[in-house]
Amino acid sequence: GESVGLHLPTLSVQEGDNSIINCAYSNSASDYFIWYKQESGKGPQFIIDIRSNMDKRQGQRVTVLLNKTVKHLSLQIAATQPGDSAVYFCAEKWQGGKLIFGQGTELSVKP
C-alpha cells in the first residue's frame, strides 16, 4: 500500500507485482518530464522521459503516463524486482532549462 505524511511517501509491493508511482507537477508550462531512481548512497539515475506532446511512453519494464489536464505523471514498473527498491523522483523542466524535482516516493519491494 501507499502512505503519505510527514515522511517520504512509501509504496510497498510484493516481488513480481506491478508498481505505480504517482507525481503531481506544479508548472502547467513545463514541456518535458523525467523519472529518476535514486538508490541509497548514489546520485539520481535516469529511467525514462516524456515530452509534453505525448501522453504515454514505454521503456523496458517501465511506462510513463502524462495527464496534462490535471498535471499528473505516473511511472509504472512491471514485474517489480528487489533491485527496483529505491526512491523515485519525477522532475519537470521549467523555462531556462531548470529541472525541478518532485517530492519523491520510496519503493520497497518485498521478496
User: Residues interacting with other proteins, by CB under 8 A?
Assistant: 7-8, 31-32, 34, 36, 41-46, 49, 51, 89, 93, 95-104
The type of residue at 100 is: I
Q: Write out the DSSP string of 32-98.
A: EEEEEEE-TTS--EEEEEEETT-SEEE-SSEEEEEETTTTEEEEEESS--GGG-EEEEEEEE-GGG-
Which one, 89 or 109, has the nearer CB to other proteins?
A: 89
Which one, 36 or 75, has the nearer CB to other proteins?
A: 36
Which one, 87 or 109, has the nearer CB to other proteins?
A: 87
Least distance to other proteins, CB of residue 65, Å: 18
